[in-house]
Amino acid sequence: MADDKLERIKCLIIGSGPAGYTAAIYASRADLKPVMYTGMEPGGQLTTTTEVDNFPGYPEGIDGPTMMVQLQQQAERFGTQVRIGMVTEVDFAKEVGGIHKACIDNKTWVEAETVIISTGATAKYLGLPSEQRLRGGGVSACAVCDGFFYKGQEVAIVGGGDTAAEEATYLANICSKVTMLVRKDEMRASKAMQHRVMSTKNIDLRYNSEVDEVLGEQVVEGLRIVNNETGEKEDIKITGLFIAIGHKPNTDIFKGQLDMHDDGYLITKGKSTKTNLPGVFASGDVQDKEYRQAVTAAGTGCMAALDAERYLATVESEEEVSA
């Protein structure tokens, strides 16, 4: 039963990246009066990206933080309430028309008729101090996003799975040389992807190799590699380092309530953003491990808002019939 003392929200948006803000724009224009809680990283992964050159409508490019500020302003222009806060717990209803509950910052509960989850995924990094210092200065977790800036230059990529192999071959098309560091004595990638890597002439594949230190003060100037079998170290000159060791979807608080893959990505139905619970929708990287681009996240944010609008219309028409 609903608690009359709790704030009732028509459309609650959890997360504030391209998916969340696009959902907010569409939801507010549909008069769903959305309330967004930004999470710990307002703006999502794009706030750590210096230049965004591949989002439509920006012929000169734009830096990630500025783009997120503009998306927020656009959402607020149509009436979205953007609140700084972290959803720390949820209690989702299981029946159509049920009221969902969310706890903000471990203290305040709110109710919501619909929920759009746009909590994204967090790129995994190696955790080296030199790597963290140079994030945005030559260290990146997205070759498709940032590879263009290293056209004709020598770069390195860390990882041995399908994503690393795919990004290595992508970089090889635009960079003069790609040094690929694989921690074990073999790649985890599929045989087809391994063959692509091995048949690409300008990829220097190094097994049993790890990053000892990223070299450079303000920008990446080189890499110290260590062979984890012999302990031998080697310095190479590079201008860009790409980390491709996976992403972790930010879905821990939804475990036990929403269906998800073994790796934590939320499962949506067909071509929709519907989860297994009525009135709860997922958009952006939290349900997309294939593309992980700002523009695809924005697209699913639009879809989630439209799905939420249609869901509410269905609930309201059913209530009218019952009455």
**How far, in whole angstroms, is CA 137 from its chain's centroid?**
20
Q: Please state the rounded mean pLDDT for residues 225-246.
A: 96
Residue 220, amino acid: V
Share of the chain above pLDDT 90, in %: 82
Q: What is the pLDDT of residue 1?
A: 39
C-alpha torsion sign, points 252, 256, 257, 261: positive
Of 59, 42, 62, 43, the residue nearest 51 (C-alpha): 62
Residue 167 predicted with pLDDT over 90:
yes
Token duo for residue 26: 């569409």
Whole-model pTM: value is: 0.81
pLDDT tens digits, one per residue of 119-153: 999 889 999 999 999 998 999 998 988 899 999 99
The span from the CA of 164 to the CA of 188, in Å, is 10
Give the active site residues: 142, 145-146
> Helices 18-29 and 64-77: crossing angle, nearest 10°?
20
Which run of H or E residues covers position 174? none
Q: What is the pLDDT of residue 41?
A: 74
Token duo for residue 303: 């879809």
pLDDT band at 51 (very low <50, low <70, confident <90, very high): confident
Q: What is the pLDDT of residue 81?
A: 98
pLDDT tens digits, one per residue of 279-306: 999 999 999 988 888 999 999 999 999 9
Q: Is 287 helix (H, G, I), strand (E, B) or coil?
A: coil
pLDDT tens digits, one per residue of 62-104: 988 899 999 999 999 999 999 999 999 999 999 999 999 999 9
In DSSP terms, which residues pair with 200 in a beta bridge? none
Q: Give phi and psi for 106, each to the nearest 5.
A: 65, 15
Of 282, 246, 279, 247, the residue nearest 266 (C-alpha): 282
C-alpha torsion sign, points 143, 149, 152, 154: negative
> Helices 162-172 and 191-198: crossing angle, nearest 10°?
30
